[in-house]
A and B are shown apart, each in its own frame.
Chain A
Amino acid sequence: DAKTTQPNSMESNEEEPVHLPCNHSTISGTDYIHWYRQLPSQGPEYVIHGLTSNVNNRMASLAIAEDRKSSTLILHRATLRDAAVYYCILRGNSGGGADGLTFGKGTHLIIQP
């Protein structure tokens, strides 16, 4: 899987939007962009994923650059419960079988009250 680059940490205020960037300049045409997050002392949880178009769900929005070399996870109104490590992960087609997710170090999001 291609590599992603994320800032080590970001800080935001409660009830404000948060934009978490991810660079993936070596992304291939068939790679999906996935975001997971891990709250303190919990297992990772799925947030959102997309291929080319921007995506929205109840948790967040995913904005994908036109050249697909970067993407941004948007939390529209952060709460204290959104404080977590956010992982941007690329997933391609192995052509068969399954592989695990490749987690980098992610972005540690700090929410200030």
Chain B
Amino acid sequence: DAGITQSPRYKITETGRQVTLMCHQTWSHSYMFWYRQDLGHGLRLIYYSAAADITDKGEVPDGYVVSRSKTENFPLTLESATRSQTSVYFCASSETGGRWGETQYFGPGTRLLVL
């Protein structure tokens, strides 16, 4: 019963480097989401995906790239990391993506520090 996992859990990188955060879910949920959480901002949506090969932008997509070649994986890439991308990143999934009674299930988070 793994559910939704994220790796790495902690990452330190330098400005300008490429970083990929991984997200894996075992429920075969159609929808997956990436959020970032910063002090004073709460959680904000970066990107989401409705199915394999279907992705769309959220509230704060600039500087991030996503892909979804398999239903169970949804990696988030910072192509050239900046200090402002220091944050805690959460991946989530949901069965249908419908907005009413939908429940989203969150991973444990990745703490990223960009020096």
A contact residues, total (Cβ < 8 Å): 23
Cβ A92 vs Cβ B99 within 8 A:
yes
Contacts of A49 in B (CB 8 A): 101, 103
Q: Is the CB of A43 within 8 A of B42?
A: no
- Inter-chain contact B90/A44, CB cutoff 8 Å: yes
Inter-subunit contact A43/B90 (CB<8 Å): yes
The answer on a CB contact under 8 Å between A91 and B99 is yes
B56 at the interface (CB under 8 A from A): yes
Residue of A nearest to B103 (CB): A46
Q: A99-B99, A104-B42 are in contact. Are A45 and B50 (CB under 8 A)?
A: no
Chain A CB within 8 A of B104 CB: yes
Closest B residue to A43 by CB, please name it.
B106
Q: Is B75 an interface residue (CB 8 A)?
A: no
Q: Is the CB of A100 within 8 A of B101?
A: no
Number of A-B contacts (CB under 8 A): 68
Q: How many residues of B contact A (CB 8 A)?
A: 28
Tell me whether B65 is interfacial, beta carbon within 8 Å: no
A93 contacts B99, C-beta separation under 8 Å: yes
- Tell me, in angstroms, the Cα distance from A36 to B44 when the chains sit together: 15
Q: Is the CB of A98 within 8 A of B97?
A: yes
Residues of chain B touching chain A, judged by Cβ–Cβ distance below 8 Å, are 31, 33, 35, 42-45, 48, 50, 56, 58-59, 90, 92, 94, 97-109
A-B contact pairs, 9 of them (CB 8 A): A41-B109, A43-B92, A43-B107, A44-B104, A98-B31, A100-B35, A100-B43, A100-B45, A105-B42
Other A-B pairs, 8, CB within 8 Å; known A97-B56, A100-B45: A32-B100, A43-B106, A93-B98, A93-B100, A98-B48, A98-B97, A99-B99, A100-B44
